[in-house]
Structure formats: structure tokens, C-alpha cells
Chain A
């Protein structure tokens, strides 16, 4: 079982080069999330895997065999669509059973499997209804059921949660994760929502403009993004980028911010930037990597900045603080226990071990 492999896959829509040479191996039984902003080619890639789109160049291989021209029905994949794609003229039962009927599964077994899937999703009472009688969440369940009832080699999800409200989305996310843990089959999941990607994935493939920006397990991408795009895409609220310059300071290295504050680089990182003194860079700081400096303590690897609070957004567990560093508007996520006021002066500690330094020319993390 070598799983799924894409080699040099291209897709053109007229003059638009939607997918530009994707090389990718999808691990067997894993949960892979294709994520990226809209138009990045992630859905196209998924549809090529399903056989719904012609592969213009390159190959899609399953278990070592090229399946470029194999019809969807022969690929043994199940798919959940963003708008659920329920068959409006069939009852819920028939919707779920459809894939089995097409595969000529005996009636008794079909019935049994449909009921099992319905139980699993908690919708046994909906089986006799028609799709138009269902709420959005129920439809989503049916769409899931339709995929789950199949004993497919691969399950494909095309933004299955994007049409749900926030609460349902959270529930379903957990549900899907649980299902994957139970079923242990290959799942490929497309989303533009980095939270879904982070929480669900064994492995994230981050795409932009038809190319893979970075792939790896979720925390790896979070902690060690290779470029500004990846750094900015994952994490919520998004990472702050501030123009700065690397400078030699007290024998060490530091980063000078627009307000002339210098943040010292921790010792472990200094050697990497020794030859870059004087270089203009972007420093990326995640909001959750800034903390209040309550006692004026000096902790190793943290740098202090003094800011004037502009907007305060209490979120319960955290409070978001908005302020400016030079021209740049910055967001910090602080613990919730103290209530700042707009206009208040505040000292923050920046975790310099987790800050990323980016070459503004190449946009790559240095």
C-alpha cells in the first residue's frame, strides 16, 4: 500500500495556470489537509485526485499505477462536497444508499450499512425525509453519511464545513476527527480555514497560486514556517510583521524596530545571523507570543517593547490589544486578567525564540 502520489501535476483553465507542478505523496491512512487561500488550486487538486478534472500534465498514481484517465467511478473514492450535493429527488436513505446501489451491494447489506452510517452520525430519524426538508447541519450530516457508508479507498472532503455556522462547525470538526481515528482510512481534506487545517491534519499541505508553499505536520508549519506566506497564513490572529534591521548590540545581535527599540536575539539564534548585520528585514511576531511585562523582569530570549494601547478587545479567555509600532498596526493576545484602557502605556515582552526573521526581498524566512 503505497498510497497516493502526485508527480509534476499541472492544470490549465484556458490561459490560467491553476496548478503548477505539484509533487506530493499522501500517506496511507493519514489525514491530509490541503489548505490555502481561495484560488490556490487546492480544490482543483482534490478534484484531479477524484478524477473529476483532467490532469493536463504529470501523473496521479494510486498504489504505483497511473490513474490519470481512470474514471471517478473506478477510483473507489468517496467525496463530500461543499454544498453537500445531495440528490434532491431522493430521500435521505436513497441518497446515502446511492453509492452502494451503484456498486450493486445487496439490498439487505445496503440497508444495514445505511442504518449504521446514520447511527454513527446521529441521523437515523431523518432517513425517510427529502433533502429540502433538512436544515443545513442535517444536510451536512447526510453528505457525510453518503461518503462514510462507502467502504472507499480514500475519502475526499471539499470544504465540507464552510457553509455551517460557527458552533456546528466546531462540533463537526471534532466529529470528523473522531471518525478518522475510528476508521483509519486515507482522508484528504480541502479547506481555506487554517483552524480546521491545524486541528484536523496529520499533515498539512499549504498551497498558494498552484504551488506547494510548505508541507509537514501542523506544529512544524506553525513553528517553523519557511516563508512569510506560511508564517502569515497559519495562526489566528495572524502573525505581525514589522520592518526592522539587524544590528550588533553589546557584543550580541539585536533587531532594531521602527521605534528604535532594539530586541536582542537569544544566544542560540545569534550565530545564524552574524553575517547579516545591517540588513533590513521583517520581524514576524505572533500575537500570542507577546506577554505583559508585569514586574519589569528581564527574561532571557524575550525583548521588551513599550507601546500605547489603542484598542482593547476582551475575548474572555484572552484580550486582544491593538497598538502601533512605527507605521505598523500590531495585535497582541494577552491573558485576560488585567483590563487595559485605550491610551494606557504598556510594556510587552516579545518571545524572540519564536519570532521569525524574513528577508523582505525573497520573502523567505532567514
Chain B
């Protein structure tokens, strides 16, 4: 309700400013959101279609941003929900058939390169300048802005979700046992082992996601921290089986021994449930755990599925060991190259991504969009949502500087898939070195098929981003 009021005030203020100053002279006083709304009004009566992850994610456009947008501009927003794994195939298949079925796309940064190369995304620089969004873009967290916004030098999407995997730990347990937050993975092992030795089976030192499709994020992070490089930048031979890489994977296997039995099968829900239930002392998760474990919004119907938290107020936030959290997945907002209403589509993503509106969105109790702007991290209203919220935001902000990007080259899926299979084999008991050798062989095959030169260019483009590797 308060948000709604604030919004009304804002709109009222804009109207007032517009009245007083008149014409374009007022533009400097307008926020990006205001510009978007003003410009979008000429498209009133049209409908924009957006593809969004089904479930919680979609509640934002369905309950909040969609209705607001329509109220402000008269443009309807139609939300096509899709299971997250189906989003990429669906976007690609519609692009292949040139249907223009989706005007606005939610793009996971790792997919962006493939979508751009397939010609599915609209370059946004022209619009950014036309509608005065440069300034507000600068407010987006460095790591997202520098890494997840462009392919080459061209803007293809606005980072819209600060999906950084930070470490959550039980302050009370650490205090009781006199432990300090681990800063290296060796320390992590010792800490986790110490807690497990003392408290298992009631409580284990840690519990991480280990299932296929998720484990590779943790591995990508830790491998690079250990000095692993994905490819040899010149020959494009896969180096995913290098010493650092193997060390990281062996470390993961070793850490598992300090975690609850069966952790190898844990997905997002299992580690969330265990952490909230107080049966693990550490986990590495996306930002929502910070809110949910504190009980923020979990009394709402949308979050009724969240395993109830008994650890509210006892949760500490930190960067994971090594200090370079993975920016795992997350979403950017893009405009489809096949859209028949690109101007309006762009205006919507500018509006939704703007300082003003995004701040409201990341604070929605059911939100799965996590803070990604400097102004979010510094927002007083956000900092006051629960007692430790300030600390939480500070950690996210720190992660938004040092975080590491998901690998993104040509046919990213094939590489992720091969890596995922290899990692899963290791969770099933296979030898890390052998499995990674196989992954490397698979990668080389994919590279060869894509074309070594093409892939080298794509990889260089990715690797030249500041947060591709830790320095």
C-alpha cells in the first residue's frame, strides 16, 4: 500500500513538473521511469507480451508491475509463464519461426550471447540514448553493468536481478563455538567439520546445492578461485581439467563429507529447508534466503511453500570463501528482435528496470528479484525491512563488486550440460580428474563443431569482461 501511495505521489509530481516547465525542457527533471511512462502513453491500448519464469517470479509482473504499467500507460502486459528450463527453448523456437510472440524477454546472462548471435535480441543503445536512460544505468551494480549488459560493445539487456550466491551462517553457532567466518575453502572445511563433529546429526556444518544444473555454479566459482581457466585462450583447448579445476572439485567432494548424508542430491529447496530448519550451520544460496530465513514475507500466501524458519535473527551474511561469489543465473530484461512493438517494449523494460520502480520490485515480499542497484543496497527503506537487513545488503553489495560471471560462449548450453554431467558423475562417486578429463574432451568436441575461430572470438569477448576471472 505504501508503495502504491509513493508511486501515486511520484506520478503526481511528474505531472506537476511537466505542467510547470512544459515541453522537453522538463526532461532533465524527469526520472527514467517518468520518461518511459510519458513516452509509452502513445502506445496505449496495445498489448505487450513478456516471457517470465513461472511461479514466484511471475507474481511481480502479474500482481505488481503489470497492473501498474497498464494503469500508468494504458498498455496491457501479457505474461507468458514458462518453466525456467523451457524459457530458452521457447524464446529460440519463437525466434526461429519469427513469430514475435514475445516482445520482452527475461534472459539469463549466460544465454545472452547465444540469443544475440542467433539474432533474437534487439540492440538497445539507440533506445537508451533516445529515452535518456544512460544515467540511471550507471546506478546498476558494477559487476552486473560491466558484465551482464553487453555483448561486445552493444547493450542487449538490462541487468535486473542481483543473483549472487553469498554465504549464510549461523551467528549463534559460530559464537558459541568460537568460530570465525571462513575466508578460504580450507578454512571452510575445518569449520564445517568442527560443527558437524560436535552437533551431527542434529546439525551439520554446512549443506550446499549439489544437483546437476546447480552444482556447476559452485564449481565454476571455486575452480576459478583456485586458478582454473576454462579454455586456453589461444588454442581454445579446454583446460577445465587443469590442476586448479581438479583441486576445486576434489575440495567439493571432501566438503561433502562434513555435510548431511545425501547432500549430493540436494537442490535449492533442500538446502533452503535445512537451513531454515536449523539443521545446517552454513549454506551458500541466492539472496532470497537472507529474507526468508529472517521471516520477511514468509507469512504471505505466495511464500507459504517456504519451509518455516526457526533461525530468524541468528543469520549472518558473508562472501563465500575466496571472496568471489558466483553470479549464478539471474535475469536481464531484453527486447525481442522479432517484436512488432519494440518502442513500447523497450519503454516497459526501462520503466521496470528504473531506479524508482526496481526498488519497489526488489522489496516485494514475494520477490525473487534481488537487489542489483547501488541505490537498492543503500536504500533506507530496504535496510529497515528486518534487523539485519543492512548487513545483508552490504554483503550483496560487496558481492556485486567481486562476483564471478557464469561462462557464456557460443552454445553455452552444450558446455554447461557436459560440465553438469561430469560433475554429477563425481557426486555419484566418480574420480574428479577422470570426470573432468571427459568434460574437457566433450568441450573440445563442441568447440570443434562450433568452429575454433568463432568460439575463440566469443570466448575472448567473454573472458575480457572484468569479472570473468578473479584477478
A and B touch in the complex (CB under 8 A): no
